[in-house]
Amino acid sequence: MLSAGPGDHAVAFYRENELAGLVGSYLQSAIRDGGSAVLVATPDCRSQVNAWLTATGIDLAGAWADGSYVPLDASQTMDRFVINGRPDAAAFWETMSPVLAAAGRREGPVRVFGGMVAMLWQTCSAEAAIELEALWNEIGGQYPFALLCGYPVAATSDVADSDVLAQVCCAHSSVVGAPSGSDVAWLPG
């Protein structure tokens, strides 16, 4: 079970067939408990999570309308704050602060799934992903939300990335799963 209180920042290393259930179950309780679920993901991930949530009885149209479900496109969101392959801190805050502030106006918990770190890992650099993880930790000091970041196991299985993976794990309060072929326990902190 993932920690999901304000300030929790978990990371999950997932296989493709696990993503919809992992993210859907993480976000579902925020919607059901009167809070907000923010999904920042690729179109495919959003489609899978939407289907999962619908199958569990969530009225997505109603949730979108009342602000309890906020799906955002990861590429479009990153286009607002990634400059020359690196996240710009001021632009990140300008992009995410209004989203988190609006989500926080609801009565219940705020949960966010961020797929942008995996996109940075795969398209720019692992260091850029770690920089974004640090920005999430910083903004978490201003807004009360729980964050789940996801990295596909296949993208993080290179043994050469072990030091960088350790940095990713240390940026989180909890770790779910482990990179493919890993014989090490990845522990936060």
Q: Are strands 86-87 and 82-83 parallel, antiparallel or unpaired?
A: antiparallel
Q: What is the pLDDT of residues 105-135, one digit of tens each?
A: 999 999 999 999 889 888 878 889 889 989 9
The model's pTM is 0.85
Say what the pLDDT of residue 186 is.
40
Per-residue pLDDT band for 99 (boundaries 50, 70, 90) equals: very high
Q: What is the pLDDT of residues 39-66, one digit of tens each?
A: 999 999 999 999 999 999 999 999 999 9
Residue ranges and CATH numbers for the domains of the chain are 9-176 (3.40.50.300)
How big is the chain, counted in residues?
189
The 3-state DSSP composition of the chain as helix, strand, coil percent (nearest 5) reads: 50, 20, 30
Tokens of residue 84, six digits: 């020359």
